A and B are shown apart, each in its own frame.
Chain A
């Protein structure tokens, strides 16, 4: 394992060394073309965020009367005032929404990752009748969009009177077919059977083997699954929309959407929606920046079987 990764690293670094003598002009053109394309796309993706940031530094009246992408003179005091008003509006309900999102996405992703890891590990490391069938059923779950399941879920949850509770959003969130798939693929290649044999010979129980050996060896994939699941739950909108009525249970996506749809009644909400949207992407940015080095590693690992 370690030898193969060093050779791969070496071969990746090799080409630039050998090509320095060759067509450096051509590489300059192609490189600048690539940079140009990437630059255009960066601009394309970052402009809305810039707009969001600039807009959050404006007072309600300034939205429609000033240049959309330029700061106004009172940007900093306005920004502070906006944040203050956002967090105090309607008994600080926005803070509650952020807390709910963190709870749904954080705990949901953690448990989802654990279950996916256990399931994927079992599918990768144990031979039992119907193993492929189970895996295929789980895999087919990847293909069914979550949106299509929301309504049936609502009817089921209605039967057991769990709609409009934390559980209504939380329970469906801890299931991740894609996570199971990734955990299985990664587990079968990164957890050697010999190691498990050795652990068994040493008297380790299966559960202990899983937590002490399996989880550690699979950790790059698990971080990927966690991030994936975290983002999916954080952005999940349709399920909470269908399930929840009590605004103290809303995640931030649904709360902002509800505010946005009530702008007609209360135009002041417009500024709350914009500043709220800006604040709501901060946790995602933090999650990505702190875990991104695992992210790409895990994804690539899944593709190389």
Chain B
């Protein structure tokens, strides 16, 4: 009896394992330039599905539906991409019933591209020409630098700047840093005051990527044939060495980002700066209410005095997923969603999005003075940063894995072993094997 139970159980386990393997294997061909095929409008009324996790996006969709009776969009939602929605997209693509449109962050787009999950919508009406309407770097994210190809419409972005406690800097007589050199000098002075200049976020590897991005560095390259993994590029190492020094000197705190303690440290003045993206403005104002009026925003510190480069942290696109029966209409909706001033204003108000379209920087919401930031017009700083983000940064096709592996290494550094450079080297090595395991060609 006992043996029968065991055999039956094993059989069941094997069957389910096979089923899983059948679902998750395969489909990882190298990215080859798919020519933009025909993309004609459908006849008659069309119904589309659009999946996004931005709060309030359902109301933006309602606006479209009221204006476009022939193209009705069903809004679908779920947790944010890496928390489940991307996996859902892949499941749906395999089952052949994917949403027509899905929100995909820039750092996840290459994964979808490599697994052939995106429709090329370049031929769907005026999509190619729309490129000029978007901030340069966001457009190169959705075209992958291919000619005659557009795989998504940029939605929002996260240009970076430096939030800082103007009151504390002034009281201590420390000049607000404009270069990374000055930033390090300030860090030492602030430590002497008993505070930290900022926090080193071991889990926000994409924040670190934003730093490398600002330094003109790359983590990945793709020449059309193979991926080049370069987490240890000279610019990347320069950034790593810089932060390693701050960590070694005990000049940065090591709190878990977005935790209560972390928020509290911004509230109490235990931290004086946060180099972060535009969306961080609401993080600070909700997490550090007692510091209202004391925070200001300045451009990111520069590697060379007089420079203007900015990095980026976050941002998404609206992609037309593989298998959509109405790519033309889907593309039109995606374009409207991310360029129509009314839609952008709603997405900003309800979902906190900072538009990727150039016109989006002129929204009324960005024109006024921010009360929390002492009346400063902080969005002027971010608009400038947005224009100064280096346009050709490339994300790799397995970013979730890369983030995890680098983050593990960063954790060890904060625990006292190894260096940030070691962590990057280990991340590079593991990324290369992850790519090879999926038969994605890698350049040696």
Residues of A within 8 A of B (CB): 60-61, 63-65, 68, 90, 132-133, 136-137, 139-141, 143-144, 148-149, 151-152, 154-155, 158-159, 161, 163-164, 241-242, 244-247, 254, 257-258, 260-270
A140-B55 contact, Cβ under 8 Å, with A151-B20, A266-B351, A267-B283: no
User: Chain B nearest CB: distance from A219 CB in Å?
Assistant: 28
Determine, out of B8-16, B225-233, B331-339, the stretch whose residues face the partner at the interface. B8-16
A263–B99 CA distance with the chains assembled, in angstroms: 24
Task: Pick the residue among A65, A244, A269 that contacts B55 (CB under 8 A).
Answer: A269
Q: With contacts defined as CB atoms under 8 Å apart, how many contacts are there between chain A and chain B in the complex?
A: 140
A42–B237 CA distance with the chains assembled, in angstroms: 49
A269–B283 CA distance with the chains assembled, in angstroms: 12
A residues within 8 A CB of B288?
Answer: 64-65
A residues within 8 A CB of B49?
Answer: 245
A269–B286 CA distance with the chains assembled, in angstroms: 11
A265-B76 contact, Cβ under 8 Å, with A65-B264, A152-B20, A155-B94: no
B residues within 8 A CB of A269?
Answer: 55
Cβ of B69 under 8 Å from chain A:
no
A265–B79 CA distance with the chains assembled, in angstroms: 12
Name the residue on A nearest B92 (C-beta): A158
A136–B4 CA distance with the chains assembled, in angstroms: 7
Cβ of B375 under 8 Å from chain A:
no
A residues within 8 A CB of B53?
Answer: 258, 261-262, 265
A267 pairs with B77, CB closer than 8 A: no
A65 pairs with B267, CB closer than 8 A: yes
Chain B interface extent, by class? 35 or more
- The 8 A CB mask of B72-102 against A (1 = contact, 0 = none) is 0010111110011001100110111101000
User: Chain B nearest CB: distance from A249 CB in Å?
Assistant: 10
From A136, A242, A245, residue with most partner B Cβ within 10 Å: A245
A144-B279 contact, Cβ under 8 Å, with A136-B4, A151-B23, A246-B76: no
Cβ of B289 under 8 Å from chain A:
yes
A residues within 8 A CB of B78?
Answer: 241, 244-245, 258
A158 pairs with B289, CB closer than 8 A: no
List 18 contacting pairs A-B, 8 Å CB cutoff, sorted by A. A60-B286, A64-B267, A64-B287, A64-B288, A133-B4, A139-B9, A144-B13, A154-B91, A155-B91, A163-B95, A164-B76, A241-B79, A246-B74, A246-B76, A257-B79, A261-B80, A266-B55, A267-B282
Q: What secondary structure prevails in chain B residues at the interface with A?
A: helix
B95 pairs with A154, CB closer than 8 A: yes
- The 8 A CB mask of B363-383 against A (1 = contact, 0 = none) is 000000000000000000000
A163–B11 CA distance with the chains assembled, in angstroms: 27
Cβ of B108 under 8 Å from chain A:
no
A266-B20 contact, Cβ under 8 Å, with A140-B11, A151-B91, A158-B97: no
A247–B85 CA distance with the chains assembled, in angstroms: 13
B residues within 8 A CB of A163?
Answer: 95, 97
- The 8 A CB mask of B17-52 against A (1 = contact, 0 = none) is 101100110000000000000000000000001010
A245-B51 contact, Cβ under 8 Å, with A64-B288, A140-B9, A143-B12: yes
B residues within 8 A CB of A257?
Answer: 79, 83-84
Task: Pick the residue among B1, B19, B258, B287 that contacts A151 (CB under 8 A).
Answer: B19
User: Chain B nearest CB: distance from A271 CB in Å?
Assistant: 9
Name the residue on B nearest A138 (C-beta): B8
A65-B290 contact, Cβ under 8 Å, with A158-B97, A264-B283: yes
A61 pairs with B286, CB closer than 8 A: yes
Cβ of B352 under 8 Å from chain A:
yes
From A90, A140, A143, residue with most partner B Cβ within 10 Å: A140
A246–B17 CA distance with the chains assembled, in angstroms: 29
Residues of B within 8 A of A (CB): 1, 4-5, 8-9, 11-13, 16-17, 19-20, 23-24, 49, 51, 53-56, 58, 74, 76-80, 83-84, 87-88, 91-92, 94-97, 99, 258, 260, 263-264, 267, 279, 282-283, 286-290, 314, 350-353
B residues within 8 A CB of A254?
Answer: 79
Task: Pick the residue among A140, A149, A241 that contacts B8 (CB under 8 A).
Answer: A140
The 5 closest A-B pairs by CB, nearest first: A61-B289, A245-B76, A64-B263, A158-B95, A267-B286
A65–B94 CA distance with the chains assembled, in angstroms: 47
B residues within 8 A CB of A260?
Answer: 79
B8 pairs with A261, CB closer than 8 A: no
B residues within 8 A CB of A247?
Answer: 58, 76-77
B residues within 8 A CB of A161?
Answer: 97
A149-B79 contact, Cβ under 8 Å, with A65-B267, A258-B53: no
B residues within 8 A CB of A148?
Answer: 16-17, 20
A264–B206 CA distance with the chains assembled, in angstroms: 14
A residues within 8 A CB of B260?
Answer: 63-64, 68
A133–B350 CA distance with the chains assembled, in angstroms: 57
Name the residue on B nearest A144 (C-beta): B12
A66–B123 CA distance with the chains assembled, in angstroms: 56
B12 pairs with A152, CB closer than 8 A: no
A143 pairs with B13, CB closer than 8 A: yes
A residues within 8 A CB of B264?
Answer: 64-65
A residues within 8 A CB of B5?
Answer: 136, 139-140
User: Chain A nearest CB: distance from B48 CB in Å?
Assistant: 13
A137 pairs with B8, CB closer than 8 A: yes
Task: Pick the residue among B77, B267, B287, B314 that contacts A245 (CB under 8 A).
Answer: B77
A261–B24 CA distance with the chains assembled, in angstroms: 24
A residues within 8 A CB of B353?
Answer: 265
A139–B58 CA distance with the chains assembled, in angstroms: 44
B23 pairs with A265, CB closer than 8 A: no
A300–B88 CA distance with the chains assembled, in angstroms: 41
User: Chain A nearest CB: distance from B346 CB in Å?
Assistant: 13
Name the residue on B nearest A60 (C-beta): B286
B16 pairs with A152, CB closer than 8 A: yes
B79 pairs with A261, CB closer than 8 A: yes
A267–B53 CA distance with the chains assembled, in angstroms: 14
A241–B20 CA distance with the chains assembled, in angstroms: 17
A246–B49 CA distance with the chains assembled, in angstroms: 10
**Other CB < 8 Å A-B pairs besides A155-B91, A265-B279, 19 of them?**
A63-B263, A63-B287, A65-B267, A90-B55, A141-B12, A144-B13, A144-B16, A148-B17, A151-B24, A163-B97, A241-B78, A245-B78, A258-B53, A258-B79, A261-B53, A265-B54, A266-B282, A267-B282, A267-B287
A residues within 8 A CB of B77?
Answer: 245-247, 258
B54 pairs with A262, CB closer than 8 A: yes
A residues within 8 A CB of B88?
Answer: 241-242, 245
B residues within 8 A CB of A264?
Answer: 80, 258, 279, 283, 314, 352
